[in-house]
Every structure is written in structure tokens, then in C-alpha cells.
Amino acid sequence: MKRDFLAIESLTTEELHALLDRAAKMKADRRPSDVLAGRSIGMIFEKPSTRTRVSFEVAIAELGAHAVVLNASELQLGRGETIEDTARVLSRYLHALVVRTFEHDRLERLAQWGDIPIVNALSDLMHPCQALADLLTVKERFGKLEGVSLTYVGDGNNVAHSLLTGCAMVGMNITVATPAGYEPISQIVKRAEELAAGTGARVEVTTDAAAAAEGADVLYTDVWASMGQEREVEERRLIFAPYQVNTALVARSASNAIVMHCLPAHRGEEITDEVIEGPQSVVWDQAENRLHAQKALLEWLLT
């Protein structure tokens, strides 16, 4: 049966650990392979992307496969052809499809109607490929995942959702600090709590950023207005101002804490220039790890 990767929970905990180990190996021994020779992997982007687009295209090339990069506005999809029809047609040509879109439901419909693995390259609800790279980065820095505490400060968005699930599954403690009204959605928090009960992790949601940062091993943030929320930028800038990751907030975290950001960053908003350029920032390794994590993911989906 084909497997999709729409959410971190598309993997079992064992599969998630194995995939992270495989990604670390592929990183240590980076060289082109022909493991996916003869395969064609499509990519549809309905939103802009730098990291996801380039890291997937390079991952596909390094695995010996061929990337077919499709801009949604150049597809009949952009002129009203249905998701269901697109899924069935593309399944006849491609071996997998990587998709960045708006409503998460669009990915679920592609997965339901297509016969090939569908990979979530970001939806309004989740960004699981990012969380894979994030967990790889944490493991690289701390030599373990279990017991490491991550504090996410900012908007309870797609990145926060995938981190909640990912951390809970691997036994990392996660605290999400957001302004009131911008919390992660309750079903995802509830599910993370259930997963955490099995791994001994702690899941917390709060509006108190300073308390949340206290003693954290990882401080994580993301943009205050995600793609598709452009009209809310001004309003959010005011509401989120107390949730900036700056030197004062970093000082509250553990002395060997790392600072993470999925990028792109808005310096002076969710993170200061000083912090993102500072010695605790691991954002470039984090961005690099997208490549290695996605190579492991594609290999797992297609072999």
C-alpha cells in the first residue's frame, strides 16, 4: 500500500526515529546515488518557497530521480480542474508528488484520489518536512531528543502544530507561548498530549513567553503572519510584539540553549538581528537539514 507524508503522524514513532537516523547517515556520507533512478517526482507550489523547493529538487537529483517542478498557476488546476482529476492524471506519470498548498484538505484529497505518495511541503495546518529537519537539528546538537525541552514563541501556526506532534512523539518537552487568540488548534494540542503521555513528554500552552523560555534547551520562533495572512500583518505586529525572541528572552533559556527559526525570518519582528546572527543560532544548519531529512523521506516512501 502506498504511504503519504501529510503530517508527522503519517510515520510511526519507530519510523520517525529510523528516518532521522537515516538522514544523519546521508548527511555524514553525502554523495549522489541512483536509488531512485528512473523515477519522476512532481512538485506543485501554490505558495512561494526557497528552502523547500530547492532542497527537494536537490534531494531528488541526489537520489538519481527526476524532478518535475510545477507552478500551480501554470497547471489546469489554476483554471479550475479539480484536485481529484489532477491527482488521478498525475498518478499515471509520476512516482510521488510534493505539494505546498493552503487548506490541508487539498492534500488529503490528492492522497485519496492519487495512487502515488503525496508529501506535504506545507499547508495552512502543518509543515511536517520542517519538523523532520528540526528534530534532526536538535538531535545533532544535543545527541538525543528525549528529555530535551523546546519552547516555541509566537504564532500557533503550521510550524508550531508539526513541532507539537513531533516533540510529543520523540519524548521532547514542548511549551508553546502565543498571544491569547493565537494558540495552536486544540485538537492538535490534545493529540500531542495523548502522544506525550506515552513518551513521558510534557506539553504546555501558555501566553507567558518569559516563563516559557525559562531554562529551555531550544528557543524556536516563526513569522507572525504566515503566507495567506498578508492582510493581518499590521495588526499582528502590535499583538505579537511581546513575543519577540531577543537577547533578554534568550538570557532566560539554558546557558547552552540553541535558537531555531524555520526561515524566512523578519529581523526586528519575531527575532532580532543580534539573536539570529548570534552564537546560539543554528538556523543555517536547520535549513541545510531540510535536504538530508527529505532525502531520507523520499527514499523511505519510494523503496
Return residues touching ligand CP (CB under 6 A).
49-52, 122, 130, 262-264
262 among known catalytic residues? yes
Q: Which does 226 bind (CB under 5 to 8 A by kind): ligand CP, ligand NVA, none?
A: ligand NVA
Residue 46: CB atoms within 10 A of its CB come to: 23
State the catalytic residue, choosing from 129, 130, 161, 261. 130
Nearest-approach distance from CB 47 to ligand NVA, in angstroms: 7
The grid coordinates listed for 251 are: 538570557
Q: Which does 50 bind (CB under 5 to 8 A by kind): ligand CP, ligand NVA, none?
A: ligand CP
Residues 45-74 that bind ligand NVA (CB under 6 A): none
State the catalytic residue, choosing from 39, 290, 292, 294. 290
100 among known catalytic residues? yes
Residue nearest to ligand NVA (CB): 226
Residue 284: CB atoms within 10 A of its CB come to: 10
Q: Which does 157 bind (CB under 5 to 8 A by kind): ligand NVA, ligand CP, none?
A: ligand NVA
> Could you say whether residue 131 binds ligand NVA (CB under 6 A)?
no
167 among known catalytic residues? no
- According to CB under 6 A, which one of 226, 272, 286, 294 is a site residue for ligand NVA? 226
On whether the CB atoms of residues 156 and 183 are closer than 8 A, the answer is yes
State the catalytic residue, choosing from 134, 222, 236, 292. 222
222 among known catalytic residues? yes
On whether the CB atoms of residues 66 and 60 are closer than 8 A, the answer is yes
* Residue 258 per-residue DSSP state: E
264 preceded by cis ω (within 30°)?
Answer: yes
CA distance 234 to 123: 23
Question: Interacting stretch for ligand NVA, rule CB under 6 A, among 73-81, 138-146, 162-170, 223-231?
Answer: 223-231
- According to CB under 6 A, which one of 55, 101, 158, 244 is a site residue for ligand NVA? 158
Question: Interacting stretch for ligand NVA, rule CB under 6 A, among 109-117, 156-164, 174-182, 188-196?
Answer: 156-164
State the catalytic residue, choosing from 51, 95, 106, 127. 127
> Could you say whether residue 134 binds ligand NVA (CB under 6 A)?
no
Question: Interacting stretch for ligand NVA, rule CB under 6 A, among 56-64, 106-114, 151-159, 197-205?
Answer: 151-159
Applying CB under 6 A, the residues found at the interface with ligand NVA are: 122, 157-159, 222-223, 226-227, 262
Would you please indicate which residues are annotated as catalytic (active-site) residues? Answer: 100, 127, 130, 222, 262, 290
